[in-house]
Structure 1
Amino acid sequence: MHENVRETVRRLCIHGARVTVVCSGGPFAASLRETSAQVLETDYELINGLVKEALKWGPFDLVHVHPGPSREFGLRLARVAGIPVCLTLHGEWLDNIHMFWDRFARIFTVSQAVRDKTLKAAPAAAGFVEMMPNGVDLEKFTVYQRLAPPESGRRPRVIVASRFDADKQRLTDFLVELWQVQKPEAVFHWEVAGTGTQIGQLQQAADRLNRTYGTDLVRFHGWLEASALYELYTVCDFSISPGRSAMESMAMGLPTVALGSQGCFGLITPDRTDQAAWSNFGGAGLLEQTAPTSVLEEMLRLWQSSAKFLATARFVADYIHKNFDAAHWHDQLESTYLSVLNGEMRPLVSDAKSPQFPT
C-alpha cells in the first residue's frame, strides 16, 4: 500500500496537484516529502483536533482514505469541508462498509475478490465500486531481453520480497515450514528482501537450515530501494512473494509462487494467472492452499524442464505487462478523481464484473 500511495502522490504532484498526506511519522512520511507533498504527521488519537488542524492546510477538493482511523478522519474532514471522499479497500477487512458505503463518491478495490466481497456486504454500492489494482513500474521492473532457460548444474536461487509483520504471519509461518521440509534433492538458495516485526522467526529458521546443510542457503538483505531490489531480481530464478512484490517479480520474468496474507496460492502457471490475480496474488479471496512440500515439488519440476521454465517466465512477464502497468492504473485513478470532482456522487455508467485491463 505504501509504495502505491507514494507513487500516486508523486504523479499527482508532477501533474500540478497540491497533495497533503495525513500519516504517522517515520521513513514513509520522509519519502513523501521528497515528492513535494505536504505531510501532516499524526497518531490519529484525537480525530476532531486533527480535522481542525488539517483544515488549516487546505482548501481541499477531494479526500482519499483507507480503512481504520484514516476512514474515520477522512469522512469527518469531507463532511466539514463539503467535499467528496473516496475509499480504497485492500483485503478481507472491509471496515463496516455496509454502514458507510453511501458516504463515498467511489470505492476502489485492489482485486476482483475484494470487489466481490464488498458487494456481498453492501449490494447497493455496486454503482460506486471500481477496480483499481496495484500496478508495476515497468520502467524499473522489466527484463524481457534477459529471459533465458535455466542453467543446468546449479541450485536455483529464490527471492522472497515482503514485509514480515503480524498481518503477514501466515507468510512467515509458511516459509519456516518450507525451510524445514526442504530435501537434499530439492535444495534452493534463498534471498530474503524485507524486514518487519516477525523477521526474527525467519532468521532462526534460516540458521537451522544453514546448519543442516553446512552452508549459507539463506541470506537476508533487509529493506531494499527499488534499484537494489531490481538487481536482486536479476540474479534469482524464482520468487515467493505476495501482492505487489509477486507482480514485480513476474514482470521481471521470474516464475512466481504467490504467498500472501491469506496463505499460499502456489506456483503461478499460464493456466492459473487469472485466478492468482483474482485473489491479489495470495491475498483476500484465496480459495485453496498449496502445501510447502507441493511448492518445492512444483518449482523443482519447472527447474528441470528448460522449455517449460522459459515458457512460464515469458507468459507471466507478458501477463503483467499487459494487465498491471502502473502508469495505466495511475492515469485511471487520476481520471476517476476528475470524474468525481465533476459529477461528485454520480454512479458509474457501467458495472463491469471484471477489470477492464489495457491492451
Structure 2
Amino acid sequence: MKKKAEVRSKKPIVKRRIYSKQPIVQYVVKAEPPKQVVWFNKEESNRSIERRYSATDLRILMVLDQFNIGGTETHVLTCVRELLRNGVHVVVAGKRGEMCDAFAALGCPVYEINFVTNEHISNDDDEKKIISQLKQIMNTEGITAVHIHQIPSGFFAAKAADQLCIPRIWTLHMLLPFTIDELDLIKSSAAVVCVSPSIVKQLPVKGLPVQLIPNGIDTVQFNYRSLIQSDLREELGIPKVAPVIMYAGRLSWEKADICRDVIEASRRLKAEHYPNLNILVTGEGRHSENIKSLVDVIHKETKSKFIHLLGNTLNMSSYYSICDIFVGTGRTAVEALACCRPVVAVGVKGFVGLVHPGNYRSAWETWFGDHQADEMWTVEKLQADIKRALDMPVQEKMETGWVNRNLVKEQFNFTRTTDMLMNVYANILKDRYAPYEVE
C-alpha cells in the first residue's frame, strides 16, 4: 500500500514526441521533387533536446508591441494556445489592439502595457513605468522565462528581465536595422529563435545560440471548406463561377507596393482574359487610404466593382476557401497552402512565383520571398504566374492543393514546432535558480 501511495504522489511524466527525419516533400502526385531533399533537422541545433523540466515548471511571459492582426501576432497566438494545451503557464503583455480579445479568450492572463504610442513609436517617455510594470508582472506570475518577439516591447522586457535575473529568448521574425543597444540585448539572450534559414544566414552577429523553428500552422483551423463557398460569395456579390484572386498582408511600405502591383496585374487579367475576375484584399496599414483611393479610381474607370477591401480579419480560412489563387508571403502563404490553394509567393525581398514541389526548398529558405529572394517582382511576373495558376486543369489544381497541404502537415505542424520551442525553454532553464528582485 505504501508503494502505491508513493507512485501516486509523483508528478506525471511528460512524454517527449519523437520525430523521424522526414523530407520536405514526402507525398507528390504527378510532380517531380526537388533535386536536393531538405531536412528541417539537418543542423545539430535542431535535434531533439531531452526535456529537463516538466511542463508545469515553465512559466512564460510573451511580449508583443501591440495586439494587432498580423503574421507575428498570429504566430504568437498559435504558440500560446498550444503551450496552454501542454500545461505551460503563459502570460501575454502588449498594447491593446484588435487581437487582444483573441488572446484573452484562450484563458491566459493578458496585460495591457503601452509599449508604443498611437503612432507606433517606442514609448520612451514612460520607460521607467513600463519596466516597473513588467517586473511586477514577472514577480506576481512567477515567470521563469521571457519570450520577446518585437522591438520596442522587447527592449523594455529585456531590461526588466535582466534586473530580475530571468532568462530571455528572442524570436526574430525578420531582420531589421538593429541599433547597437538592440544588438547587445540580442547577443546577451539565453537563446535566439529564427523562423527561416535566411534569417540564420544573415544574422548580424555570430556565435549566438540559434534555434531554427518555423511558424507552426494549425491544419484543423486552416483547411479548405467548400460548404462556405456559395454563402460567402453571395455575401460579397461574387458570381459562383467567377475566378477569385486573394492578396493578404499589412498595407504598409513594400507590402503596400506589392498590393498595388497585384491589383494592376489582376486588372490586366480581367481586361484581357477573365471578365468576371474578382480580387479580395485583406489587411490594413499606414497606406490603406492610398490603396482605397486606387481601387476607387479603377472601379470608376472600369465601371465595375470587382476589388473587395476586407480590412483586418481573423476569419482568414474562409476567404482562403473561396479564392482560386492566393498571392502573398510568409505565414499567410503557408496558411493558404494548408487550405489547398495554389500560391504565388512574393514578399518584401522579392519574387518566388508559383509555389510547387520543385521550388519548395527555395520558398522555405527565403520565407516565400519575405526574407530573401533572387529576383524582384514585377507586374508582368505576377500576371504571368497568376494566369498560369488560373489556367490549371481541375485535376492538376486538386493535386497541387493536396500536395501543398501535405507539405504544411509534415513540415509546419504546430504541435511539432511547439515541442521544439518547449525544448528550447527547458534547455535554457537548466541549472537556473528561481528569479529574485535585485535592488
Task: Pick the TM interval, shorter chain.
Answer: 0.7 to 0.9
In structure 1, the partner of 2:20 is: none
In structure 1, the partner of 2:381 is: 294
Q: Please state if 1:63 is matched with 2:146.
A: yes
- Deviation, 1:145, is 9.2
1:179 touches 1:205 (CA, 8 Å); kept in 2? no
In structure 2, the partner of 1:134 is: 215
SS of equivalent residue, structure 1 residue 104 = coil
- Deviation, 1:29, is 2.8
Q: Please state if 1:189 is matched with 2:278.
A: yes
Q: For residues 91 and 333 of structure 2, what CA distance do their matches in structure 1 show?
A: 30
Q: Give deviations 1:83-116, integer Å, cap 9, x for gaps.
A: 2110011112163565344411110111111111
Q: Please state if 1:20 is matched with 2:107.
A: no
1:92-241 aligned at under 5 Å gives the runs 92-93=175-176, 95-96=178-179, 98-118=183-203, 121-125=204-208, 128-143=209-224, 154-166=241-253, 168-179=255-266, 181-182=268-269, 184-187=271-274, 188-226=277-315, 229-241=316-328
- Deviation, 1:136, is 1.6
Q: For residues 169 and 419 of structure 2, what CA distance do their matches in structure 1 show?
A: 16
Letter in 1 for 2:206: P
Q: For residues 276 and 143 of structure 1, what CA distance do their matches in structure 2 show?
A: 22
Letter in 2 for 1:23: G
Q: TM-score, normalised by structure 2?
A: 0.69
Letter in 2 for 1:284: H
SS of equivalent residue, structure 1 residue 225 = coil
- Deviation, 1:124, is 1.8
Q: Give unpaired runs (5+ residues) of structure 2.
A: 1-71, 116-122, 228-239, 433-439
Q: For residues 304 and 66 of structure 1, what CA distance do their matches in structure 2 show?
A: 40
2:224 touches 2:317 (CA, 8 Å); kept in 1? no
In structure 1, the partner of 2:418 is: 330
Aligned length in residues = 332
Q: For residues 205 and 269 of structure 1, what CA distance do their matches in structure 2 show?
A: 32
Q: For residues 302 and 14 of structure 1, what CA distance do their matches in structure 2 show?
A: 38
2:187 touches 2:205 (CA, 8 Å); kept in 1? no
Letter in 1 for 2:92: V
Letter in 2 for 1:107: V
Decide whether aligned partners of structure 1 residues 130 and 343 sit closer, same or farther in structure 2, where only a CA change above 3 A counts. farther
Decide whether aligned partners of structure 1 residues 15 and 317 sit closer, same or farther in structure 2, where only a CA change above 3 A counts. closer
Q: For residues 217 and 37 of structure 1, what CA distance do their matches in structure 2 show?
A: 41
- Deviation, 1:293, is 1.7
Q: For residues 93 and 72 of structure 1, what CA distance do their matches in structure 2 show?
A: 14
Larger radius of gyration: 2
- Deviation, 1:34, is 2.1
Alpha-carbon RMSD across the aligned residues, in angstroms, is: 2.6
- Deviation, 1:142, is 2.2
Q: Which moved more, 1:84-93 or 1:21-30?
A: 21-30
Q: For residues 177 and 27 of structure 1, what CA distance do their matches in structure 2 show?
A: 30
Q: For residues 232 and 169 of structure 1, what CA distance do their matches in structure 2 show?
A: 20
Q: Which moved more, 1:284-293 or 1:212-221?
A: 212-221
In structure 2, the partner of 1:49 is: 129
Decide whether aligned partners of structure 1 residues 101 and 237 sit closer, same or farther in structure 2, where only a CA change above 3 A counts. same
Q: Give deviations 1:204-248, integer Å, cap 9, x for gaps.
A: 33233333443222122232223xx22222221100122111111
In structure 2, the partner of 1:37 is: 108
Q: TM-score, normalised by structure 1?
A: 0.83
Q: For residues 208 and 273 of structure 1, what CA distance do their matches in structure 2 show?
A: 37
In structure 1, the partner of 2:369 is: 282
1:266 touches 1:289 (CA, 8 Å); kept in 2? no
Q: For residues 343 and 85 of structure 1, what CA distance do their matches in structure 2 show?
A: 15
Decide whether aligned partners of structure 1 residues 289 and 155 sit closer, same or farther in structure 2, where only a CA change above 3 A counts. farther
In structure 1, the partner of 2:17 is: none
Decide whether aligned partners of structure 1 residues 216 and 129 sit closer, same or farther in structure 2, where only a CA change above 3 A counts. same
Q: Which moved more, 1:165-174 or 1:273-282?
A: 165-174
Decide whether aligned partners of structure 1 residues 70 and 216 sit closer, same or farther in structure 2, where only a CA change above 3 A counts. same
